[in-house]
């Protein structure tokens, strides 16, 4: 197989060829690293590389194949992890490009790193993220912004933007994301990839000091991939019980078994705006056309309004208050480790983080209680909607890609259709699903008619019905395939 063809294989194909001894893990790794070295500089997606370590592990993987040893489902397959709340012993962990943490070295493993290595995958490095993963764009003052591979200079989306850009550009078949407001689905949408956030509890979480902090909003590790089958395989690898997580589900599911499910007769609800979001007409045009793929697959599509009962500005403020509380906890944890970030390095985090940390420190227990009542009402509205519909679909994002800033603080749009939105998260139709903990994906819906930039379709399922989301996503991929769109990033100047 020509070396240039190797990186375009799916993770499923890579693993199969390695098992069959038709592809050497060493040759696979060399080809992938060569592609990353050629293509990453213009996107700024991978911010820490461990190529020598990856090559050494590929040699071990090859010896295991030739020795006839038992192989994991992702044996020899390259991937990458996010540089945020994602740890691997001996590797730097900057919590999203916080400058004073540039030389902070992790001494523990996150779920992704632990379970990927158990499955035989080889992690080649860490990908870019905004500080604390606190917004829907990808930029920071340590590493700078990450671009979508479809138009260099325009943002990849965040917070898992480096992973989204690497996958969308074909540097890796899949990579890790974390999602507390859409941070898997947002960059998947803006980079033309498929992103999957599982039901809360499917993927255990170990990378935090407070085991009870990840529920307001619900935060989970997950996968960004080019193909649905790769996301299903990788999610299967990282899902499952862990006694260190009090919310971890004590069951294992093979999500790949759902990919050929017939969705004929399924009732699917479609909301263009969740009843509250202003949405760019360029997004609506693409998503309206994309939804017809479900009808082509035999599903029944009806328009739906969840009836949240709150404005988009009210809900985005709740999300920011929750995230401010989580950020406050993180700052206090780092202070205990000798890093007083806000006092000694105030310019290392953007002004919005300072503001929401300040607000968090003024909140009373009653304030948090009232915000969790709002979260409960959104959860109940989602539950009621999904009791009627097996799947609900929406645009992933209300806005098209924004230009990268030159100050390390790229933000989303200030207005959409003349209506003010929170520039951190208010243009992201993803975070209500983090209030509720339902499984959700973002699939490539198509390209905008004017700029040929990718638009995402959000696919939401019932709680713990992750297989339904994978089934609907796979059906959508069959009836509206998106692989041809990758000719655009493939042809970009390097």
**C-alpha–C-alpha distance, residues 21 and 18, integer Å:** 5
**C-alpha–C-alpha distance, residues 330 and 326, integer Å:** 6
Tokens of 45: 């997606």
Tokens of 265: 């007769």
Task: Indicate if 436 belongs to the active site.
Answer: no
Span 310-340, pLDDT tens digits: 999 999 999 999 999 999 999 999 999 999 9
Find the mean pLDDT for residues 39-54: 99
Query: What backbone phi and psi angles, to 5 degrees, belong to 177?
Result: -135, 165
Average pLDDT over the chain reads: 97
Find the mean pLDDT for residues 419-429: 99
Which candidate in 129, 159, 216, 436 is catalytic? 159
CATH number of the domain within which 51 lies = 3.90.1300.10
Q: What's the domain range around 251?
A: 3-490
DSSP 194-251: EEEEPPTTSB---S-S-TT-TBTTB-EEEEEESSHHHHHHHHHHH-B--TT-TT--S-
Tokens of 466: 């992750």
Span 447-461, pLDDT tens digits: 999 999 999 999 999
Per-residue confidence (pLDDT) for residue 3, from 0 to 100 = 65
Find the mean pLDDT for residues 45-69: 99
Domains of the chain: total:
1
Which candidate in 183, 207, 271, 442 is catalytic? 183
Structure letter (DSSP) for residue 160 = S
Span 208-230, pLDDT tens digits: 678 888 899 999 999 999 999 99
Per-residue confidence (pLDDT) for residue 209, from 0 to 100 = 73
Find the mean pLDDT for residues 223-238: 99
Residues facing 179 on adjacent strands: 220
Task: Indicate if 183 belongs to the active site.
Answer: yes
**C-alpha–C-alpha distance, residues 415 and 277, integer Å:** 11
Task: Indicate if 163 belongs to the active site.
Answer: no
**C-alpha–C-alpha distance, residues 460 and 393, integer Å:** 6
pLDDT-derived band at 52, boundaries 50, 70, 90: very high
Contacts 24+ apart (CB under 8 A), 252-255: 253/202, 253/466, 253/467, 255/466, 255/467, 255/470
To 5 degrees, how large is the angle CA 216–CA 220–CA 222? 155
pLDDT exceeds cutoff 80 at 24? yes
Tokens of 174: 């899949």
pLDDT exceeds cutoff 70 at 207? no
Handedness of CA 110, 95, 82, 236 (dihedral sign): positive
Tokens of 21: 């001894």
Residues in the chain: 494
Which candidate in 10, 24, 57, 82 is catalytic? 82
Query: What backbone phi and psi angles, to 5 degrees, belong to 92?
Result: -65, 150
């Amino acid at each position: 197989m020509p070396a240039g063809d190797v990186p375009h294989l799916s993770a499923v194909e890579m693993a199969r060829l390695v098992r069959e001894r038709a592809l050497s893990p060493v040759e696979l790794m060399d080809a992938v690293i060569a592609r990353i070295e050629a293509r990453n500089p213009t996107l700024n997606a991978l911010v820490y590389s461990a190529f020598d370590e990856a090559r050494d592990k590929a040699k071990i993987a090859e010896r295991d194949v030739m020795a006839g040893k038992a192989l994991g489902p992702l044996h020899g397959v390259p991937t990458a992890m996010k540089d945020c709340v994602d740890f691997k012993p001996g590797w730097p962990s900057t919590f999203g490009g916080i400058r004073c943490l540039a030389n902070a070295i992790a001494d523990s493993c996150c779920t992704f790193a632990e379970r990927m290595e158990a499955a035989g995958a080889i992690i080649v490095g860490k990908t870019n993220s905004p500080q604390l993963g606190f917004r829907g764009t990808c930029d920071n003052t340590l590493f700078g912004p990450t671009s979508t591979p479809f138009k260099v200079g325009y943002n990849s989306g965040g917070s898992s933007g480096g992973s989204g850009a690497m996958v969308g550009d074909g540097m890796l078949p899949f990579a890790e994301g974390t999602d507390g407001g859409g941070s898997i689905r947002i960059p998947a949408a803006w980079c033309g990839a498929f992103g999957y956030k599982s039901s809360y509890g499917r993927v255990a979480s170990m990378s935090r000091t407070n085991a009870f902090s990840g529920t307001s909003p619900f935060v989970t590790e997950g996968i960004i991939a080019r193909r649905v089958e790769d996301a299903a395989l990788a999610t299967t690898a990282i899902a499952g019980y862990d006694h260190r997580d009090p919310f971890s589900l004590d069951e294992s599911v093979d999500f790949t078994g759902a990919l050929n499910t017939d969705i004929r007769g399924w009732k699917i609800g479609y909301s263009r705006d969740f009843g509250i979001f202003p949405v760019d007409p360029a997004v609506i045009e693409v998503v309206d056309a994309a939804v017809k793929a479900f009808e082509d697959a035999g599903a029944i599509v009806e328009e739906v309004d969840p009836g949240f009962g709150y404005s988009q500005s009210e809900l985005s403020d709740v999300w920011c208050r929750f995230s401010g509380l989580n950020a406050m906890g993180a700052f206090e944890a780092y202070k205990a480790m000798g890093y007083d970030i806000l006092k000694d390095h105030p310019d290392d985090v953007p002004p919005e983080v300072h503001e929401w940390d300040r607000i968090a420190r003024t909140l009373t227990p009653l304030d948090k209680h009232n915000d969790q009542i709002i979260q409960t009402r959104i959860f109940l509205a989602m539950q009621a909607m999904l009791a009627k519909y097996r799947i609900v679909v929406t645009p992933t994002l209300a806005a098209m890609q924004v230009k990268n800033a030159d100050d390390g603080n790229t933000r989303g749009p200030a207005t959409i259709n003349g209506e003010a939105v929170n520039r951190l998260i208010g243009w992201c139709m993803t975070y209500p699903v983090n209030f509720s903990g339902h499984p959700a994906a973002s699939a490539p819906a198509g390209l905008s008619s004017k700029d040929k930039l990718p638009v995402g379709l959000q696919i939401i399922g019932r709680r713990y019905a992750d297989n339904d989301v994978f089934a609907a996503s796979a059906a959508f991929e069959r009836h509206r395939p998106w692989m041809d769109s990758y000719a655009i990033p493939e042809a970009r100047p390097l």
